[in-house]
């Protein structure tokens, strides 16, 4: 799967699940998208093996000669072949149009099912279908794990689905170092809470919510890991794991 730091193929499990997809290649030197394509299996990796005089291949050669990487992102997966044709064509039209420049999307919400089938790097795609297990003993920070299976469906925004509003143990809130967002058993995002506050729900209960920052990239030991210690059928959407303390009660 990996050669040095670079990934060069998907695992069998990922290939069996990913279906047809649309992808883009990015020049890591300036973060520009220089190619959009469609395919299945390991198609996204094939371009770096080609020997051709096309502009795309020249760009890849220039990137690699400079000691940089060709970054690969899956824009949408789980498509039919026809759907992948249409999406690829639409994206090429958008990115190659001379009608506008420096276009930046200002969408508040992500695309439909974006957390499941939306934009992901190839390594995130691999983790999505082939995530490594993590145990409580491997968590060395005081964390609050929040399951967002239900809240994400309403907001389509991982941060908003994670940060509010939860029935928490008041005595533990100030000891929480990280909040981990769990979706379908996988740790999808990690936030560092900066402030906590409460709001009263319709039953008169105090529910906690936080304002924080996304620190997912700072904690690769937790990100995209499978929650192997979660009990099946567990109704409570929150779980405390205090790696810096002996109190690991839920």
> pLDDT of the chain along its 250 residues, tens only?
545 457 889 999 999 999 999 999 999 999 989 999 999 999 999 999 888 888 899 999 999 999 999 999 999 999 999 999 999 998 887 887 666 666 555 555 556 666 777 778 888 888 888 889 999 999 999 999 999 998 887 767 889 999 999 999 999 999 999 999 999 899 999 999 999 999 999 999 999 999 999 999 999 999 999 999 887 767 789 999 999 764 444 4
Percent of the chain clearing pLDDT 90 (strictly above)? 63
CA nearest 192: which of 238, 143, 146, 158?
Answer: 143
Distance CA 241, CA 229 (A): 11
Distance CA 195, CA 183 (A): 23
CA nearest 138: which of 218, 212, 215, 226?
Answer: 226
The answer to whether 166 and 238 have CB atoms below 8 angstroms apart is yes
As given in the structure block, the two tokens for residue 59 are 């760009």
Distance CA 175, CA 143 (A): 9
pTM: 0.68
The answer to whether 187 and 227 have CB atoms below 8 angstroms apart is yes
CA nearest 239: which of 142, 153, 149?
Answer: 142
As given in the structure block, the two tokens for residue 10 are 């998907």
Distance CA 234, CA 145 (A): 13
Q: How many of the other CB atoms lie within 10 Å of CB of 37?
A: 19
């Amino acid at each position: 799967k990996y050669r040095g730091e670079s990934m060069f193929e998907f695992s069998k499990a990922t290939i069996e699940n990913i279906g047809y997809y649309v992808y883009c290649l990015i020049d890591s030197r300036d973060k520009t998208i220089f190619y959009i394509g469609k395919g299945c299996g390991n198609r996204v990796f094939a371009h770096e093996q080609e020997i051709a005089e096309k502009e795309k291949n020249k760009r890849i050669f220039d990137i690699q000669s400079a000691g940089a990487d060709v970054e690969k992102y899956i824009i949408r997966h789980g498509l039919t072949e026809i759907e992948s044709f249409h999406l690829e064509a639409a994206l090429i039209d958008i990115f190659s149009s001379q009608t506008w420049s420096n276009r930046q999307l200002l969408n508040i919400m992500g695309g439909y099912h974006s957390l499941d089938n939306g934009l992901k790097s190839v390594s995130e795609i691999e983790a999505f279908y082939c995530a490594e297990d993590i145990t409580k003993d491997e968590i060395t920070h005081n964390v609050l794990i929040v399951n967002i299976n239900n809240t994400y469906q309403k907001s389509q925004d991982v941060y908003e689905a994670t940060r509010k509003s939860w029935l928490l143990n008041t005595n533990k809130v100030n000891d929480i170092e990280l909040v981990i967002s769990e979706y379908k058993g996988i740790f999808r995002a990690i936030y560092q809470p900066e402030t906590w506050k409460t709001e009263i729900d319709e039953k008169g209960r105090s529910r906690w919510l936080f304002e924080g920052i996304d620190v997912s990239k700072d904690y690769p030991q937790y990100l995209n890991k499978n929650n192997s210690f979660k009990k099946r059928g567990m109704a409570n959407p929150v779980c405390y794991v205090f790696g810096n303390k002996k109190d690991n009660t839920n």
